[in-house]
A and B are shown apart, each in its own frame.
Chain A
């Protein structure tokens, strides 16, 4: 199997695990855990961006833009939640 496909497969398994973890945490109805759900979303976003979109191979500025986008999200949620 192609090395990148192997990494994609590992990333996909991690993403599924994180999605299920978010659901399980949300089902506890503990509002204090909103930060954990948000952080899991951040990890999912970065996994897709860096591995599936292959930003990991792109110029530094595109990596920075991806990180700025998700930091904007997390700051927004932290302030407004």
Chain B
């Protein structure tokens, strides 16, 4: 934990990443609320469209992403005890699960495109592509960030006294978890 973390100006990962978190979560919350509003007015159409999604695949992907977040959270503690080798390995595992998430999501997207289900199919799928697509881009960026962090930690660029960048990256990565935790039940389960 950062020595200043009890200060209002030093939330975990730094205040700037928290502005981003707030902005992103409010954006997705807005999208979820508008989605639910449209759903309420066209329940039968939304239920019919939702049947094209596979909740089991969505559940597996949720587990994959959360597992990735778990390893990223561990890496930070390992780095704080100067165990760079273990920290780099944890980031590597987090990265692996991040890529698995993208591969599963890409397969799902490919299946939809193959069936001609695009952005303009209906209101449900407009929101589906918008929310999952936007989240996909976040994960894609996060995977790049983790790849860099894994390299930098293994080269001892970071250590127990220099963890800020890794902490910010981990916070960003958890943002991807948080967004998914909110949109997954709304699109796949409810």
Contacts of A20 in B (CB 8 A): 59, 63
Contacts of B8 in A (CB 8 A): 59, 61-62
Total A-B pairs, Cβ < 8 A: 128
A15 at interface, CB cutoff 8 A: yes
Q: How large is the interface on B (under 10, 10 to 19, 20 to 34, 35 or more residues)?
A: 35 or more
CB proximity of A65 to chain B, nearest CB, Å = 7
Report how many residues on chain A are interfacial, defined by Cβ distance under 8 Å. 43
Contacting A81 at CB < 8 Å: which of B40, B62, B63?
B40
Q: Mark B14-44, 1 if CB is under 8 A from A, else 0.
A: 0000100010011001001100110110000
CB proximity of B26 to chain A, nearest CB, Å = 8
CA distance A59 to B162 in the complex (A): 21
Contact (Cβ within 8 A) B69 A34: no
A58-B32 in contact given A16-B66, A19-B63 (Cβ < 8 Å): no
CB proximity of B135 to chain A, nearest CB, Å = 15
A22-B1 in contact given A2-B77, A8-B74, A55-B12 (Cβ < 8 Å): no
Contact (Cβ within 8 A) A19 B62: yes
Contact (Cβ within 8 A) A41 B174: no
Contacts of B78 in A (CB 8 A): 2, 5
Instruction: Give the interface of B toward A (CB within 8 A).
Output: 1, 5-8, 10-13, 18, 22, 25-26, 29, 32-33, 36-37, 39-40, 55-56, 59, 62-63, 66-67, 69-70, 72-74, 77-78, 81, 170-171, 174, 177-178, 181-182, 184-186, 188-190
**14 CB-based A-B contacts, threshold 8 Å:** A5-B78, A8-B70, A8-B74, A19-B62, A19-B66, A22-B189, A26-B189, A27-B55, A44-B66, A45-B182, A48-B174, A53-B171, A53-B174, A59-B5
Instruction: Give the interface of A toward B (CB within 8 A).
Output: 2, 4-5, 8-9, 11-12, 15-16, 19-20, 22-23, 25-27, 34, 37-38, 40-41, 44-45, 48-49, 51-55, 57-59, 61-62, 65, 69, 72-73, 76-77, 80-81
